[in-house]
Structure 1
């Protein structure tokens, strides 16, 4: 059966790439937008969609991929999938929407695929944005592609260093709000007494030191996206005010009675176990459900099989600039053996150290091994609370918090390295160390 000429002419006039094919996967027509983007040098008509798009010899579902045609046959409906497509510029992620077209007997006779490149992610080393092609990465990316065009609040869950802010940026850039600001808020670094003012702004005279009126981060994100990083660290007293913003879309500056409206999309992230915080009463259940309309779990690096070989060259290009360094195969093999509990952030730090240790234009295995040894954590974390020491005379009773502060003060005075090294020595995260240092000295940077 041949498609109607009117259908082929209609597809030709569409601005987005479209192809038309039959139940045997044979491409019957491809519009100008498709030919420009995916096959400018060779006709695709008469070839199968899986051969053109993936260089497969069999349909996608027989090659370990999700096949929209097979899914449509099962559901009888339109289907959407995220695929890696071959293009003249290399592989690229593409959102596919397949629609079945019924014939005279009511059964699907033809299928139309609309394709939209997902420009926030790549499967090639050296690219910008999200990089990967492992099944775990593609599952996560499929959820990003689904939720990005919507207004839904998104909760990003994952270990520290998995790239939550990068995923938040990808969601923002693939959304209708891409032309407006993305404003990131590090909730763990905001003192409780300043949290409300930073988020909502304040009026002149609202508190000591408020000499002028100031807009908050919610206003700065107007029309765009507000990214709340480490949302699990928001104090309970502030959680109810954030809940009001999410439920009503309104807020008040500190010291003002004027109700303001917020035009924002909220994305939040945490590495903490929010279910445990809920059980402990440290996080509001109603706020949790407001934030987690669409949760996305970010896979740790150890679950992204094969992605390290793509990530390492791309990260190296960023941290070593303007030098043009490359990784030797032996160096890459050493990297592949590492557990990377700090995930992509740890990989980036290791590559930066290796680049500083490397001479010439290539990072060798010995450079990576030296970088690993230089940054290796102590196997026995230093305890913040010292063991009790016998005293000649009984000392005045002191709280555990006081003992911890004194011990931390001593360690800081003796430490000559970086904050990251001190945090590793203490066996805590940099953010936790930052909060403890701020508690010692609120004026510290």
Structure 2
């Protein structure tokens, strides 16, 4: 078989894929594409020697030379298929793509790679309402985990600080799953009292108790075939946790007042801002229940851990607040927001921006308006006072600047997993940060 005939046969193979797909040679040249790829990337015909990294990212070199993992390099090193998440520049803008790369050999034993690009529709790399938004490495790592576990039936435990977007993450897991077209039912565990727990979850029959004037379907029944999302599962009182454990283990339940059990069919996703292992140690959360719900834990990054997403999040939130006018922040206003700690994460950012929109005088919101909105945050004055007192304590104790810097960097490293982010917050280069870490170890 000649090379032209082989490439023609491979073009037919690419057309068999239901997603955009390309054939790439060992030097990153795109040698064949399918029609779905051409449409997605608005390309009529790929030019000779066009590099995959140029078409997908606009890079001047391979992804691994530009600070990203390269799916082709991974497949090349292992000789096996590889998969990872990338953000590609498409005709629709920046899009998250699940890249599946498979190494193959041609008739002359030359190595090629088939790359299939599956658009990830549950999240967005562009400002859009009602989706998780982001492009940062921390955000992309979370999305990759959601994509992997979503396709399974495993129980998922979402952990993270309040306001980090756990319900949106749960909805994304549901959307990826085979149950996506079935109900997604949320249970607000923090609001369930002893008397309401069984009735809300399992339902009741008429006459089961005073006030039960008719049969009522419970949330477990409502979630049949779909996903049951237990929000703030760490707030369920200890004595009620056994009822939840029994539901998960037996996949059966009995409505209040009913003698016969009913079968439950749901995918379980739980979320909490609490540290459940610590609650287990304190005897406040059942260990057997913890292991049942935490088959696949996903830690959601804080806003501080994905600060690179701030401009995108701001644009998205402003669109949600009022999409009828082109609102934006000045660069100075954005700089002020970037210096905030945002303990309430995206929820707190949204509150600040809503205040700023109310206080604004024009379409471009300036630094003074954003600062005014920040000053209106509950506890902002007390926080300033606490910081001043902390600094005064250090001054009085004659704490050296060297020790202060050392302790500060240590706290940053303990709080943030991304060293690039630590360097940015500390106001130094990544190389300088590594030098400080090495000096501390010596």
TM-score calculated relative to the size of structure 2 = 0.81
Shift of 1:303: 1.0
**Counterpart position of 2:142:** 140
Aligned to 1:317, the other structure's residue is in SS state helix
Alpha-carbon distance in 1 for matches of 2:226, 2:171:
11
Shift of 1:325: 2.3
**Counterpart position of 1:365:** 367
Shift of 1:44: 5.4
Shift of 1:252: 1.5
Aligned to 2:301, the other structure's residue is in SS state coil
The answer on 1:181 being equivalent to 2:186 is no
Cα pair distance change 1:74/1:244, threshold 3 Å: farther
**Counterpart position of 1:36:** 39
The answer on 1:69 being equivalent to 2:72 is yes
Alpha-carbon distance in 2 for matches of 1:275, 1:380:
32
Q: Residue 375 of structure 2 contacts residue 381 of structure 2 at CA under 8 Å; is this kept in 1?
A: no
Alpha-carbon distance in 2 for matches of 1:347, 1:174:
28
**1:38-90 deviations in Å (ceiling 9; x for gaps):** 23344256312111111111111111111111111232211110000011221
Match for residue 101 of structure 1 among 90, 95, 104 = 104
For 1:43-442, what aligned pairs fall within 5 Å after superposition? Answer: 43=46, 46-103=49-106, 109-126=111-128, 128-377=130-379
**Counterpart position of 2:432:** none
Q: Residue 133 of structure 2 contacts residue 312 of structure 2 at CA under 8 Å; is this kept in 1?
A: yes
Shift of 1:322: 4.5
Q: Residue 30 of structure 2 contacts residue 46 of structure 2 at CA under 8 Å; is this kept in 1?
A: no
Alpha-carbon distance in 2 for matches of 1:75, 1:200:
50
**Counterpart position of 1:418:** none
**1:102-158 deviations in Å (ceiling 9; x for gaps):** 4569x7722111111001212223454111111111111111111112111111110
**1:396-416 deviations in Å (ceiling 9; x for gaps):** xxxxxxxxxxxxxxxxxxxxx
Cα pair distance change 1:271/1:47, threshold 3 Å: same
**1:182-239 deviations in Å (ceiling 9; x for gaps):** 1111100111221111011111222222121111111111221111110001122322
**Deviation larger for 49-58 or 371-380:** 371-380
Shift of 1:29: 1.0
Alpha-carbon distance in 2 for matches of 1:257, 1:108:
69
Alpha-carbon distance in 1 for matches of 2:380, 2:191:
26
Cα pair distance change 1:377/1:128, threshold 3 Å: same
In proportion to residue count, which structure has more helix? 2
Shift of 1:248: 2.6
Aligned to 1:360, the other structure's residue is in SS state coil
**Deviation larger for 319-328 or 131-140:** 319-328
Cα pair distance change 1:354/1:216, threshold 3 Å: same
Cα pair distance change 1:228/1:108, threshold 3 Å: farther
Q: Residue 129 of structure 2 contacts residue 320 of structure 2 at CA under 8 Å; is this kept in 1?
A: no
Gaps of 5+ in 2: 384-442
Gaps of 5+ in 1: 382-445
Aligned to 1:136, the other structure's residue is in SS state helix
Cα pair distance change 1:44/1:273, threshold 3 Å: farther
**Counterpart position of 1:390:** none
**Counterpart position of 1:5:** 8
Q: Residue 80 of structure 1 contacts residue 95 of structure 1 at CA under 8 Å; is this kept in 2?
A: yes
Alpha-carbon distance in 2 for matches of 1:13, 1:379:
62
Q: CA RMSD in A?
A: 2.0
Q: Residue 44 of structure 1 contacts residue 52 of structure 1 at CA under 8 Å; is this kept in 2?
A: no
Alpha-carbon distance in 2 for matches of 1:30, 1:41:
10
Shift of 1:378: 5.9
**Counterpart position of 1:422:** none
